[in-house]
């Protein structure tokens, strides 16, 4: 198997993309694991996927956690109500007061959202589309829009239109930041925190109480 063929867009390269994107249909976050295997086999430098050592791990964690928490609260309290989304996430309402589910849900959200989705939709897809479209400002805008569309579509099966709407905003925000910084760590923390705050709102049954828009 040629590393060059895997990095290219011939039959082998396209097949790799399809297999990676389909990975999560089997189990999450298989796609992210496949990205790491692809990077190793294709001899792709880790930094091209956004795996860059931050200047300060602590700073990345603090900024990511703060941004993720505030972003989620703004989305829940203001943005989603303006879009007419239900006050309660019906798909995950079973988590309300469900203490037994927390030990499984918390690490799942951290791994699937924080590591998995950022690795695939930001790191991998930005690298692949960057090779096709280039690194100009217009190309980066196009890449943010394309990856946001894919990211949003992936949320339809389990969360419907409200999930798609929310993913559009998060995809644009996270994608825009990654287009500028090229670093995944802070975004992984932010994404994981975003979902953990969502879990907390559901668990404590306060989703409707934080809504600020009548």
- The residue extents of the domains of the chain are 1-44, 54-210
Quick check: 168 and 61 in contact, CB under 8 A?
no
What pLDDT, on a 0 to 100 scale, did the predictor assign at position 214?
61
Distances (CA, A) of 179 to 16, 41, 47, 71: 23, 25, 13, 18
Digit-by-digit pLDDT tens for the chain (214 residues) are 678 888 889 999 999 999 999 998 888 899 999 999 999 999 999 999 999 999 999 999 999 999 999 999 999 999 999 999 999 998 899 999 999 999 999 999 999 999 999 999 999 999 999 999 999 999 999 999 999 999 999 999 989 999 999 999 999 999 999 999 999 999 999 999 999 999 999 999 999 999 876 6
Q: Quick one: pLDDT at residue 147?
A: 98
Neighbours of 214 (CB within 10 A): 4
Is residue 132 classed exposed, middle or buried when 0-12, 13-18 and 19+ CB atoms within 10 A define those classes?
Answer: exposed
Residue-level pLDDT at 136: 95
């Amino acid at each position: 198997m040629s590393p060059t063929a895997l990095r290219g867009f011939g039959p082998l390269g396209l097949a790799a993309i399809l297999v990676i994107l389909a990975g999560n249909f089997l189990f999450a976050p298989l796609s992210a694991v496949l990205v790491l295997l692809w990077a190793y086999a294709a001899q792709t430098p880790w930094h091209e996927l956004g795996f860059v050592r931050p200047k300060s791990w602590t700073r990345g964690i603090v900024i990511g956690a703060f941004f993720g928490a505030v972003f989620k609260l703004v989305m829940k309290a203001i943005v989603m109500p303006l879009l007419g989304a239900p006050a309660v996430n019906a798909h995950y309402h079973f988590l309300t007061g469900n203490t037994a589910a927390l030990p499984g849900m918390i690490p799942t959200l951290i791994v699937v959202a924080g590591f998995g989705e950022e690795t695939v939709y930001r790191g991998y897809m930005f690298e692949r589309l960057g090779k096709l479209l280039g690194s100009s400002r217009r190309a980066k805008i196009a890449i943010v829009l394309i990856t946001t569309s894919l990211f949003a579509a992936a949320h339809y099966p389990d969360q419907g239109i409200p999930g798609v709407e929310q993913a559009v905003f998060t995809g644009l925000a996270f994608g825009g930041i990654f287009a500028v910084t090229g670093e995944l760590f802070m975004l992984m923390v932010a994404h994981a925190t975003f979902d953990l705050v969502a879990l907390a709102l559901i668990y404590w049954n306060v989703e409707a109480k934080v809504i600020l828009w009548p």
